[in-house]
Amino acid sequence: MPLDLQPTRSDSAAANMAADFLMLQHYPANGNARWRHYHWHRPAVTFGYAQRIKDVRAQLGDEARELELCRRPTGGGIVDHRHDWTYALVIPPKHDLGAAPAPVSYAAVHEAIAACLNAAGCPAKLQSTEKKPAAANRAAVCFSQAEPADVIHAETGQKLAGAAQKRGKRGLLFQGSLSREATGVIDWDEFEHALLDRLADLLGMPAQTASWPEPWDETVDALAEDYASEGWLERR
């Protein structure tokens, strides 16, 4: 089983969230893991599936009117994508890590990220698992506070990377984000190459360049319409 490396794309918040969900649910059931790094057409913020939009808007204040907001299919808090490096990873359900408890898979992926940040000159480590998580119903801004097994700066304690997970019959979806501001000057192309090598070792799968399945764009566009709707945004 290989790790399929999907082409980098830039899209709206709704289309990006749709593509991540479809990468989990409707990618060909060939047992492959899959990876994508992507960009944003406009200034965007996403928030966890269980969050209330009124709490999100309250946290963002007047900025909310200037941002593209979208609910994620995964959990977690508010993620500001204006200055981040964003990725999605799907691990097949029969893989040991795909079937592992959420804290185990979360820490394993973040250990790989921390190692690559250290190699790139940014001292990084994982936040202690003894730290108590924030209240689940609080619409917290992601990079304002590190949760257990998040990646933090080894010297300042500032949060560098976080993620949200969704587990289903077709696998485990990671939606992850790294703060470009907090990590400092990094060659992000080199970082991605190093991270993919580590993830391939972690999963025991050779990485291979892949193309999007057909008819991918039409499928993403159709779900993106739903993700951009008031019904999804308000979750009603």
Taking the domains of the chain in order of start, what are their residue ranges? 3-234
What pLDDT, in 10s, does the model give residues 80-139? 999 999 999 999 999 999 999 999 999 999 999 999 999 999 999 999 987 555 554 456
Output the pLDDT for position 235.
83
**Maximal C-alpha separation, the chain:** 47
Task: Tell me the C-alpha distance between 65 and 78, whole Å.
Answer: 15
Output the pLDDT for position 137.
46
Output the pLDDT for position 139.
63
Q: Where does residue 211 rank: exposed (0-12), middle (13-18), buried (19+ CB within 10 A)?
A: exposed
What pLDDT, in 10s, does the model give residues 169-182? 899 999 999 999 99
CATH superfamily of 3-234: Bira Bifunctional Protein; Domain 2 (3.30.930.10)
Q: What count of other Cβ atoms lies within 10 Å of the Cβ of residue 35?
A: 23
Output the pLDDT for position 30.
74
CB 49, CB 71: distance < 8 Å: yes
CB 127, CB 74: distance < 8 Å: no
Residue 157 has pLDDT above 70, yes or no: yes
Output the pLDDT for position 133.
52
What pLDDT, in 10s, does the model give residues 10-45? 999 999 999 999 999 988 767 899 999 999 999 999
Mean pLDDT of the chain: 93
